[in-house]
Structure 1
Amino acid sequence: MTYKSDFYVFDAEKPVPVTIRNYTKADFDELIGIQSECFPPPFPSELWWNKEQLTNHTELFPEGALCIDVDGELAGSLTGLIVDFDPLHPNHSWEEITDNGYIRNHNPEGNTLYIVDISVRPKFRKLGLGKLMMQAMYQVVIQLGLDRLLGGGRMPGYHKAAEVMSAEEYLQKLIAGEKKDPVITFLLRCGRTPMAIVENYLEDKESLNYGVLMEWKNPFKQ
């Protein structure tokens, strides 16, 4: 199943053509470049995408390898895999559920499209491209008849509040609109809802290693 959608976004009052499509081998160098812009030093460069990972994305689950072009320039990507997920046993780490980004555990018979990564070039972030790619992946969930889209969100603002509140209390303040967090608030705006807080989800000092599992349920599978 090939995905391709052409439409416009607005940069201030100017319509700008964009395309969401599956990424291919021809995009690999640019995708690695986008990672370097999104995660600059001191973030370790060995944690950016490598070509073996990207090859696995395009060969094992091409439907879950999406990118977005803005006026012909590659501006971002969103990557997923299918897993068999049990909501009654939600605990896992990013590394184990995504095979550290190599997705060799992709299960075509699974029930959940799991988000591995989303990246948008900083200069394009005002255009809402992340939300548009997420909506495109919801369409993939529906097309494949899966139960949900799921992924773990960092809480990069939590370290500033950890002395006075638990991770659960911090999340509840985000949901109540009393606080904002650059990742969780973005995912809420994309239509995702919190399922569970997971300890030791990802090595991340800002989040104190917590992750919030954020779900979007297939409305045709309720």
Structure 2
Amino acid sequence: MYVKEQYVFRNSQIHKAVIRNYHKEDFRDLISVQKRAFPPPFPSELWWNQDQLEHHLTHFPLGALCVEVDGKLAGSMTSLIVDFDPLEPHHTWENITDNGYIRTHNENGNTLYVVDLCIDPAYRGFKLGKVLMNAMFEIVVHLQLDRLLGGGRIPTYHKVAKNVPIEEYIEKLISGEYKDPVITFLLQTGRTPLKAVKGYLEDEESCDYGVLMEWRNPFKSSR
């Protein structure tokens, strides 16, 4: 079980936050946050449903996290454990996460894999995404896994895709020449690009690419 209290800041505001595992009693709030965070035209069938959330608690409850601010649920982050081979990185989000149901969870795997990160728009600015990411890093260390891994969208890539190869675009994101709301955020949390995977997800803005972003366990020496 994971529970942590800390203070979060937005401008001059200071609020108490609790990061903890979510439970069945939170399902309604979790789905409501998804609806607010991903409004139409985002497909409603891609919001969490109760069946998926129940599978999260069945297969890997430790990796099902939420954050409360002043007692109100403000975001969530979900993960599973997989056995990842960096020499064979190609996969899709649907296949590796079982389309969000995480029946692919492997307790003997080496990698904590991010399924989803969602923050209520009303609570943006408190850096809750980074708070939840840090909690996942702590789970990696606690379970002595090799890494945290997940594929990030690149919603700005379509603007230059005709002229800039994906590998070059990632280098320009790393150098700061370009900025992307997803990849730049992940860089700020401490994750680094591993590989761009074509066909990772259906996403016109990303040209169907996902960038695998990892955080290596600093207490594991093998690479």
TM-score normalised by structure 1 residue count: 0.98
Counterpart in the other structure of 1:208? 207
The Cα of 1:68 is off from its aligned counterpart by: 0.2
1:129 matched to 2:123? The reply is: no
The alignment partner of 1:36 has SS state of helix
- 1: CA distance, partners of 2:9 / 2:39: 27
The Cα of 1:11 is off from its aligned counterpart by: 2.4
Percent sequence identity is 61
Q: Quick one: which amino acid aligns to residue 68 of structure 2?
A: D
The Cα of 1:208 is off from its aligned counterpart by: 0.6
Alignment of 1:1-222 (within 5 A): 2-222=1-221
The Cα of 1:217 is off from its aligned counterpart by: 0.5
Unaligned runs of 5+ in 1: none
The Cα of 1:14 is off from its aligned counterpart by: 2.4
TM-score normalised by structure 2 residue count: 0.98
- 2: CA distance, partners of 1:15 / 1:163: 45
Between stretches 140-149 and 35-44, larger displacement belongs to 35-44
The alignment partner of 1:100 has SS state of coil
- 1: CA distance, partners of 2:59 / 2:146: 20
- 1: CA distance, partners of 2:120 / 2:44: 16
The alignment partner of 1:126 has SS state of coil
The Cα of 1:97 is off from its aligned counterpart by: 0.4
- 2: CA distance, partners of 1:35 / 1:63: 20
The alignment partner of 2:150 has SS state of strand
The Cα of 1:58 is off from its aligned counterpart by: 1.2
Unaligned runs of 5+ in 2: none
Q: Quick one: which amino acid aligns to residue 45 of structure 1?
A: S
User: Which ranges of 4 or more aligned residues in structure 1 deviate by more than 6 Å?
Assistant: none
The alignment partner of 2:206 has SS state of coil
Q: Quick one: which amino acid aligns to residue 104 of structure 1?
A: R
Q: How many residues align?
A: 221
- 1: CA distance, partners of 2:121 / 2:168: 30
1:7-33 Cα distance to aligned partner (Å, 9 max, x none) = 111222221010000000011011111
- 1: CA distance, partners of 2:10 / 2:83: 39
The Cα of 1:44 is off from its aligned counterpart by: 1.3
The alignment partner of 2:125 has SS state of helix
The Cα of 1:166 is off from its aligned counterpart by: 1.0
What root-mean-square deviation, in Å, do the aligned CA atoms of Structure 1 and Structure 2 show? 0.7
Q: Quick one: which amino acid aligns to residue 82 of structure 2?
A: V
- 2: CA distance, partners of 1:133 / 1:29: 20
- 2: CA distance, partners of 1:16 / 1:48: 28
